Amino acid sequence: MTYESIIGLEIHVQLKTKSKMFCGSKNDPDEREPNINICEVCSGQPGVLPVINREAVHKALLVGLALDCQIAEYSKFDRKNYFYPDLPKGYQISQYDQPICGKGWVEIDSPPRAGARRGGEKTRRTIRINRAHLEEDAGKLIHEGNTTLVDLNRAGVPLLEIVTEPDFRDPAEAKTFLHNLRNTVRYLGVSDADMEKGHLRCDANISLRNPGETELPGYKVEIKNLNSFKAVEAGLNYEIARQTELLAVGEKLINETRGWDDVQSMTVAQRSKEEAHDYRYFPEPDLPIMHFVREEIEKLRAELPELPAQKLERFQTEYGLPEKDAEVLVNERSLAEYFEEVMSELEEWLSSSPSPGVGRVGERSDESIHKLAKQAVNWITGDFQALLKVAGTDARDAKITPENLAELIKMIHKGEVSGAAGKKILTIMFERGGDPSNIARDEGLGQVSDEEAIVVAVDKVIAENPKVVADFLSGKKPALGFLVGKVMAEMKGQANPQMVNSVLSKKLG
């Protein structure tokens, strides 16, 4: 029996701010030395008070707007009371019934379902956001043998908890959503959103129901410790299998929390809801209520940058890129921006200079742009990205400027260098920067497209190889290849092969 899965996500996004959520201590998730970024406030000394971090509120609003959430007119903080050694005050300052961001929604392109009849086709689905609220992170516990050490560097770092409605029907959808969300918060510049580093943490709720049912199931299982995109999908798939098996033999499932074990690839029971905490939420009396002015919010909305989903669509329509290519670019904001800078150089060139083989002077046809865009994306997502990966750097920090890369693409386009030479030039530019035409000249990688020089060489080769010429003229077509090779050798490999071909054909034609 196949059940329908009902999946919802709770995502914690660590906001990238100068200081922590409620004090002036530095917010630095990469700090290795324990208890360096702490002060009397985030270490919970007697008498201290929290103060709201304006930057964190601003960044939370940006995410809320990007997720089309209703922004509260006023919002407050609440205390969530529980004891744990990584929680210095014995309560976490969070938001209970007046979150900063209310209901919202996003669209995702759901990947084809496993076993779906119409294979390969994506469906567009709406995922409703229940809320997004601000809170503070806890510290970290480090277990060493019989002792446990407390590191409070992370205590008080701002978190935005985003809760979706149970609108996912498939683990792959959840993964897609999470992936899009990661891109979105990166585009907004509010978080590095690296799951492996814990900037982005995800818990998933999942339950199963019979196909055709519309009510939510009477239970849900929460999976914690999903520390990668892979884990989210694998954990959910594991739960579907586990719950299906239990339901098949008539077992009644209960609310419980299970942890994902990456090593064993399975979920393990942690606690059932019966043992659940009573967090005794109440309004945080140390903080004032936040009021949001409608006009300010609308101003913020208008200032939102282009988001990844919008960019993905635009790259396909404006540049005619295949979805896969567009996706690779959009997945990394710096790569997408790099691409756009290369394209703007190329478009300018297209509309201002003669461009053989691309269009007439001054013509800026969609077709020609698409053609150049495809070349640009091939270079960027191919050799360039491979070099970036090896070097472990980002497109923004590369020594090749977008202008240089555009120049290289133009040179190839104009036949000034061959594709093979282009790869060599790119590698050199990546290592030490510089102008591609200079590199081509210095390294002898230029390609001769001077028709006169080619005609001289062709004439010489025809004169020196009368037998081969005769063979060709008598119908032995492959003989042409030999002649081309000879011309290329004559020109030390730097001739434009297409031109050699056409000159030869013309002479012998």
Partner 1 sequence: MDYAFATITELRQALDTKQISAVELAKFFLARIRRFNAELNAFITICENEALAEAAEADKRIASGKVEPLTGIPYASKDLFVTRAVKTTAASKILENYIPPFDATVIARLRQAGSILLGKTNLDQFAHGSSTETSFYGPTHNPWDLERIPGGSSGGSTAAVAAGLVPFATATETGGSIRQPASLCGISGWKPTYGRVSRFGVIAMSSSMDSMGTVARSVEDLAITAEAISGFDPKDGTSGSVKIAEWSKNLPRDLRGLRMGVPQEYFVPGIEDDVKDRVNEAIDKIRKLGAEIIDVSLPLTAYGSMVYAIVTSSEVSSNLARYDGIRYGLSSAAAKDVFEIYSLSRAEGFGPEAKRRVMTGTYALSVGYRGAYYLNAQKVRRLIVNEFAEVFKKCDMLLCPSTPNFAPKIGGAADNPLFGYISDQLNIPASLAGLPGLCVPCGFGKPAEQRDNGDMPVGLQIIGPQWGEQQVFQVGYAYQQVTEWHQAKPKGF
240 within 8 A of 261, measured Cβ to Cβ = no
From the CB of 13, what's the least distance to partner 1, in Å?
24
138 within 8 A of 83, measured Cβ to Cβ = no
What number of other Cβ atoms are within 10 A of residue 34's Cβ? 15
In terms of DSSP H, where are the helices of 465-496?
Answer: 466-473, 479-490
Beta carbon nearer to partner 1, 47 or 419: 47
Helix (H) or strand (E) holding 507: helix 497-508
In terms of DSSP H, where are the helices of 113-266?
Answer: 171-187, 229-248
168 binds partner 1 (CB under 8 A): no
From the CB of 284, what's the least distance to partner 1, in Å?
8
Contacts with partner 1 by CB under 8 A: the residue count is 29
Beta carbon nearer to partner 1, 51 or 480: 51
| Binding range to partner 1, per CB under 8 A, among 82-90, 313-321, 406-414, 486-494 | 82-90
Question: Is 486 exposed, middle or buried, given 0-12, 13-18 or 19+ CB atoms closer than 10 A?
Answer: buried
Binding residues for partner 1 restricted to 25-54, rule: CB under 8 A: 40, 43-52
255 within 8 A of 273, measured Cβ to Cβ = yes
Beta carbon nearer to partner 1, 270 or 316: 270
From the CB of 287, what's the least distance to partner 1, in Å?
5
35 within 8 A of 152, measured Cβ to Cβ = yes
156 binds partner 1 (CB under 8 A): no
Beta carbon nearer to partner 1, 93 or 495: 93
282 binds partner 1 (CB under 8 A): yes
Beta carbon nearer to partner 1, 151 or 239: 151
Identified binder of partner 1 from the candidate list 253, 266, 287, 480, rule CB under 8 A? 287
From the CB of 427, what's the least distance to partner 1, in Å?
54
Binding residues for partner 1 restricted to 50-69, rule: CB under 8 A: 50-52
Q: Map residues 312-351 to x or -, x wherever contact with partner 1 holds by CB under 8 A.
A: ----------------------------------------
158 binds partner 1 (CB under 8 A): no
Identified binder of partner 1 from the candidate list 189, 218, 288, 481, rule CB under 8 A? 288
182: three-class secondary structure by DSSP: helix
Q: Map residues 85-104 to x or -, x wherever contact with partner 1 holds by CB under 8 A.
A: x--xxxx-------------
3-state SS, 12-76, equals EEECCCCECCCCCCECCCCCCCCCCCCCCCCCCCCCCCCCCCHHHHHHHHHHHHHCCCCECCEEC
Which residues in this chain contact partner 1 in the complex, by CB under 8 A? 40, 43-52, 79, 81, 83, 85, 88-91, 148, 150, 278, 280-282, 285-288
